[in-house]
Amino acid sequence: MSSGQNAARPRASDPANAFLGSDRHADEAATLAEEKRWQVMKQKMPSDPQQIEALYTLGYQLYQAGRFDDARSVFLFLIFLDGNQVRFIMAYGKTLQQLGRFGEAVASYAMAHALRPTDAQSLLLAAQCMVAQGDAEDARDLLQDAVEISHAAGDTGLAARAEQLAAVLSQPHSTH
């Protein structure tokens, strides 16, 4: 065997190999420990539908009382429990919107729309946030989509609200 072949083959006594091997084992152990912690925590999480509904009601009451940051925390926890519940995501977005965190609210509404693309409410609310950020052009595009989806779903009330906001955005601004 030539010395070139010998150099290409890792040796068990090479300190670098020992180090890499121990990292792999440490990573596997850490992953197993993390999975075990997750299982323990998951068992402690509310999973009863009545408990989850009670949390949603609490979040709604906090929102209604103007305690938006507290409501945001509740809705974020609910998303952690079940990230596919559009009502949790929408409620979270609404609290962010009330807190003036418009970019984060738009992201929340985008997630809700991805889960339920036939509901235009998320588009209308995202457009409102975009207007608040000064992005009227993108807001108009979303509003047009909201109008089309609302009409297709037979939700004339939401379509009318989207059309109203789009009309306001289309008016030339007076410079007094």
Q: What's the pLDDT score for residue 6?
A: 45
The listed CATH number (3.40.50.720, 3.40.50.620, 2.40.50.140, 1.25.40.10) that belongs to domain 44-99: 1.25.40.10
Contact 90, 74 (CB under 8 A): no
Task: Please compute, for residue 41, the number of CA atoms within 13 A of its CA located in the half-sphere on the CB side.
Answer: 8
pLDDT, one tens digit for every residue, the chain (176 residues): 444 444 444 444 444 444 445 566 667 777 777 777 766 666 667 778 899 999 999 999 999 999 999 999 999 999 998 999 999 999 999 999 999 999 999 999 999 999 999 999 999 999 999 999 999 999 999 999 999 999 999 999 999 999 999 999 988 763 33
What is the domain partition of the chain in residue ranges? 44-99, 117-171
Q: What's the pLDDT score for residue 117?
A: 96
Tokens of 31: 């992953």
Cα distances (Å, whole numbers) of residue 150 to 71, 118, 124, 147? 28, 8, 10, 5
Residue with tokens 């984060």: 104
Tokens of 103: 């970019």
Contact 125, 97 (CB under 8 A): yes
Contact 145, 165 (CB under 8 A): no
Size (the chain), residues: 176
Model's pTM, two decimal places?
A: 0.73
Contact 133, 150 (CB under 8 A): no
